[in-house]
Homo-oligomer: A and B are copies of this chain.
Protein backbone atom coordinates (compact mmCIF):
# COMPACT_ATOMS: atom_id res chain seq x y z
CA UNK A 1 0.00 0.00 0.00
CA UNK A 2 1.33 3.39 -0.99
CA UNK A 3 1.60 5.57 2.14
CA UNK A 4 0.35 9.14 2.48
CA UNK A 5 3.90 10.44 2.23
CA UNK A 6 4.38 9.24 -1.31
CA UNK A 7 3.04 10.51 -4.58
CA UNK A 8 3.90 7.97 -7.25
CA UNK A 9 4.42 10.38 -10.13
CA UNK A 10 5.03 9.72 -13.80
CA UNK A 11 7.10 6.79 -15.07
CA UNK A 12 10.71 7.49 -15.97
CA UNK A 13 10.01 7.10 -19.71
CA UNK A 14 8.01 10.35 -19.60
CA UNK A 15 11.26 12.25 -19.08
CA UNK A 16 11.43 13.00 -22.82
CA UNK A 17 8.14 14.96 -22.68
CA UNK A 18 9.80 17.73 -20.66
CA UNK A 19 12.41 20.40 -21.34
CA UNK A 20 15.70 20.36 -19.50
CA UNK A 21 14.60 23.48 -17.63
CA UNK A 22 11.46 21.71 -16.43
CA UNK A 23 13.40 18.59 -15.48
CA UNK A 24 15.87 20.59 -13.39
CA UNK A 25 12.89 22.27 -11.72
CA UNK A 26 11.42 18.84 -10.95
CA UNK A 27 14.75 17.70 -9.55
CA UNK A 28 14.98 20.73 -7.24
CA UNK A 29 11.40 20.14 -6.08
CA UNK A 30 12.12 16.46 -5.46
CA UNK A 31 15.22 17.29 -3.38
CA UNK A 32 13.14 19.71 -1.28
CA UNK A 33 10.43 17.04 -0.87
CA UNK A 34 12.97 14.42 0.16
CA UNK A 35 14.58 16.75 2.68
CA UNK A 36 11.22 17.58 4.26
CA UNK A 37 10.36 13.89 4.34
CA UNK A 38 13.63 12.93 6.05
CA UNK A 39 13.45 15.87 8.49
CA UNK A 40 9.92 14.97 9.57
CA UNK A 41 10.77 11.26 9.75
CA UNK A 42 13.86 11.96 11.88
CA UNK A 43 11.64 13.83 14.36
CA UNK A 44 9.36 10.82 14.69
CA UNK A 45 11.92 8.02 14.86
CA UNK A 46 13.20 7.22 18.33
CA UNK A 47 16.13 4.89 17.64
CA UNK A 48 19.21 7.17 17.97
CA UNK A 49 21.28 5.48 15.24
CA UNK A 50 18.43 5.61 12.74
CA UNK A 51 17.47 9.17 13.70
CA UNK A 52 21.06 10.23 13.08
CA UNK A 53 21.16 8.53 9.69
CA UNK A 54 17.88 10.04 8.53
CA UNK A 55 19.02 13.53 9.62
CA UNK A 56 22.21 12.98 7.65
CA UNK A 57 20.14 12.17 4.55
CA UNK A 58 18.12 15.37 5.07
CA UNK A 59 21.37 17.38 5.13
CA UNK A 60 22.58 15.66 1.95
CA UNK A 61 19.39 16.50 0.07
CA UNK A 62 19.73 20.12 1.17
CA UNK A 63 23.18 20.23 -0.42
CA UNK A 64 21.86 18.63 -3.61
CA UNK A 65 19.14 21.28 -3.81
CA UNK A 66 21.77 24.01 -3.51
CA UNK A 67 23.97 22.36 -6.12
CA UNK A 68 21.04 22.02 -8.54
CA UNK A 69 20.11 25.67 -8.02
CA UNK A 70 23.67 26.64 -8.93
CA UNK A 71 23.51 24.45 -12.04
CA UNK A 72 20.15 25.99 -12.96
CA UNK A 73 21.49 29.52 -12.48
CA UNK A 74 24.43 28.75 -14.77
CA UNK A 75 22.24 27.22 -17.46
CA UNK A 76 19.39 29.71 -17.28
CA UNK A 77 20.98 32.90 -15.95
CA UNK A 78 18.62 35.37 -14.35
CA UNK A 79 15.58 33.08 -14.63
CA UNK A 80 13.32 32.04 -11.78
CA UNK A 81 13.21 28.26 -11.30
CA UNK A 82 10.18 26.72 -13.07
CA UNK A 83 8.49 24.03 -10.95
CA UNK A 84 6.25 21.88 -13.17
CA UNK A 85 3.16 20.40 -11.55
CA UNK A 86 4.03 16.91 -12.78
CA UNK A 87 7.00 14.99 -11.54
CA UNK A 88 8.87 11.94 -12.68
CA UNK A 89 9.05 9.09 -10.20
CA UNK A 90 7.92 8.97 -6.58
CA UNK A 91 7.89 12.26 -4.71
CA UNK A 92 8.22 12.19 -0.95
CA UNK A 93 6.15 14.41 1.31
CA UNK A 94 6.52 15.24 5.03
CA UNK A 95 5.49 12.65 7.58
CA UNK A 96 2.64 14.40 9.39
CA UNK A 97 1.40 11.53 11.58
CA UNK A 98 2.54 9.58 14.60
CA UNK A 99 4.32 6.40 13.54
CA UNK A 100 2.76 3.16 14.74
CA UNK A 101 5.69 0.98 15.67
CA UNK A 102 8.57 -0.35 13.67
CA UNK A 103 6.48 -1.62 10.75
CA UNK A 104 5.68 1.99 9.80
CA UNK A 105 9.38 2.84 9.81
CA UNK A 106 10.12 -0.23 7.68
CA UNK A 107 7.43 0.73 5.13
CA UNK A 108 8.62 4.33 4.89
CA UNK A 109 12.23 3.21 4.53
CA UNK A 110 11.22 0.93 1.65
CA UNK A 111 9.47 3.83 -0.10
CA UNK A 112 12.40 6.11 0.48
CA UNK A 113 14.64 3.46 -1.13
CA UNK A 114 12.31 3.42 -4.11
CA UNK A 115 12.44 7.22 -4.39
CA UNK A 116 16.25 7.23 -4.16
CA UNK A 117 16.52 4.52 -6.80
CA UNK A 118 14.32 6.43 -9.27
CA UNK A 119 16.19 9.66 -8.48
CA UNK A 120 19.49 7.89 -9.30
CA UNK A 121 18.06 6.72 -12.63
CA UNK A 122 16.52 10.13 -13.29
CA UNK A 123 19.90 11.87 -12.97
CA UNK A 124 21.49 9.18 -15.16
CA UNK A 125 18.90 10.02 -17.84
CA UNK A 126 19.60 13.74 -17.42
CA UNK A 127 23.28 12.97 -17.98
CA UNK A 128 22.35 11.83 -21.49
CA UNK A 129 20.25 14.93 -22.09
CA UNK A 130 22.58 17.70 -20.97
CA UNK A 131 25.37 18.88 -23.23
CA UNK A 132 28.98 19.38 -22.19
CA UNK A 133 31.21 17.14 -20.11
CA UNK A 134 30.95 19.42 -17.05
CA UNK A 135 27.16 19.17 -16.84
CA UNK A 136 27.23 15.43 -17.54
CA UNK A 137 29.71 15.07 -14.71
CA UNK A 138 27.41 16.90 -12.29
CA UNK A 139 24.49 14.64 -13.22
CA UNK A 140 26.72 11.59 -12.71
CA UNK A 141 27.68 13.02 -9.31
CA UNK A 142 24.04 13.36 -8.28
CA UNK A 143 23.17 9.91 -9.62
CA UNK A 144 26.02 8.27 -7.70
CA UNK A 145 25.10 10.14 -4.53
CA UNK A 146 21.51 8.88 -4.76
CA UNK A 147 22.80 5.33 -5.24
CA UNK A 148 24.85 5.92 -2.11
CA UNK A 149 21.68 6.87 -0.23
CA UNK A 150 19.85 3.89 -1.68
CA UNK A 151 22.43 1.41 -0.35
CA UNK A 152 22.61 3.19 2.98
CA UNK A 153 18.84 2.88 3.40
CA UNK A 154 18.88 -0.70 2.11
CA UNK A 155 21.39 -1.61 4.83
CA UNK A 156 19.15 -0.20 7.59
CA UNK A 157 16.08 -1.76 6.02
CA UNK A 158 17.63 -5.23 6.13
CA UNK A 159 18.39 -4.93 9.83
CA UNK A 160 15.05 -3.32 10.71
CA UNK A 161 13.30 -6.44 9.43
CA UNK A 162 14.73 -8.24 12.46
CA UNK A 163 13.85 -5.66 15.08
CA UNK A 164 15.05 -7.69 18.05
CA UNK A 165 18.51 -8.02 16.56
CA UNK A 166 18.51 -4.41 15.40
CA UNK A 167 17.91 -3.18 18.93
CA UNK A 168 20.49 -5.56 20.29
CA UNK A 169 23.23 -4.73 17.77
CA UNK A 170 22.63 -1.02 17.17
CA UNK A 171 21.35 0.31 20.50
CA UNK A 172 23.96 -0.95 22.84
CA UNK A 173 27.63 0.00 22.87
CA UNK A 174 30.35 -2.66 22.52
Contacts and interface: CB of A to CB of B under 8 A. Distances in A.
Interface of A: 56, 66-67, 69-71, 133-134, 137-138, 140-142, 144-145, 147-152, 154-156, 158-159, 161-162, 165, 169-170, 172-174
A98 B140 CA distance: 30
Main secondary structure of the interface of A (DSSP, over half): helix
A134 B165 contact: yes
B137 A162 contact: yes
Contact of A144 (B133, B151, B165): B151
Contacts of A69: 174
A173 B141 CA distance: 18
B173 A66 contact: yes
